[in-house]
A and B are shown apart, each in its own frame.
Chain A
């Protein structure tokens, strides 16, 4: 009997704290698998965010640094400049990167810092109870937009990949999802490519991952996966947004 699927070595034995059906667990596992496959365990340095993803340092068996809320890209810039031979990536949610950390992420991208951002987009502030985030879809109901996001008063969903795509410093930007097996395989390929872009010195890379948040979307995990295809991917189109490599 041959084992065809086992726990990645870059994941500690700790149990995830995420809610049932949360995409963070899938994304964390994909990153750990890519680190294993590229043999980067001694080279990779993760910058953890504030938000649901905060506790990744309990899960990744690699060096991890916790940054202040939203400052992941700035902290990753510092680490990368001091240790240019290491793989440096930040793991950030939409509250972290698209709201409080917009300045740090945007300018790191504009400077073309050779870092990677793994951007987990679930369209809400997950950890604080599902309030509207900049990435919340128009008409989406959240605890702070009980009758749906009104784009006249609350603005439009921020498409980070497209915003960063106009910056000359960015090398590789792709939007993927983790709502079905085929999409997860694609997401893993995107993470692998983003890490390669960094290691080959091509510049800034970012992978935006549409991730289910069943608790705050008030849906079952399976409904959440379908909702990503039926609704979310219409406003956040999947695919490579920029590949200047």
Chain B
């Protein structure tokens, strides 16, 4: 079971990719999905490993990421 998990608010995300760059486990990627603003959004990778370190949320300029720990 994963140690942590994240929830990305799709409509806040602007696809800046800072969470992707700084995730220590490289568990986030840019998806092919567009949101209503027209940005490709970041999403958690299938099979990615999350430790709940919240680095993605610290970097996110849109406050779009919530982090949970099990």
The answer to whether B61 and A5 have CB atoms under 8 Å apart is no
Nearest-neighbour CB distance to chain B for A5, whole angstroms, equals 4
- Cα–Cα, bound, A2→B69 (Å): 5
The segment from A66-74, A87-95, A149-157, A177-185 that touches chain B is A177-185
CB A2 to nearest CB in B, in angstroms, measures 5
**Chain A interface: which size bin?**
20 to 34
- Does A101 touch B at the CB level, under 8 Å? no
Q: Which among B11, B17, B70 is the interface contact of A15 at CB below 8 angstroms?
A: B11
- Interface range on chain B: under 10, 10 to 19, 20 to 34, or 35 or more? 20 to 34
In the complex, which residue of chain A has the Cβ closest to the Cβ of B67? A5
User: How many residue pairs at the A-B interface have CB separations less than 8 Å?
Assistant: 77
Using known A-B contacts A21-B18, A180-B22, A222-B21, determine if residue A15 contacts B12 with beta carbons closer than 8 Å.
yes
Known: A181-B22, A221-B17, A222-B21. A18 touches B61 (CB 8 A): yes
Q: Which residue of B lies closest to A1 (CB)?
A: B68
Which of A5, A11, A29 has most B Cβ within 10 Å?
A5
Residues of chain A at the chain B interface (Cβ within 8 Å): 1-8, 11, 15-16, 18-26, 29, 180-181, 184-185, 214, 220-222, 225
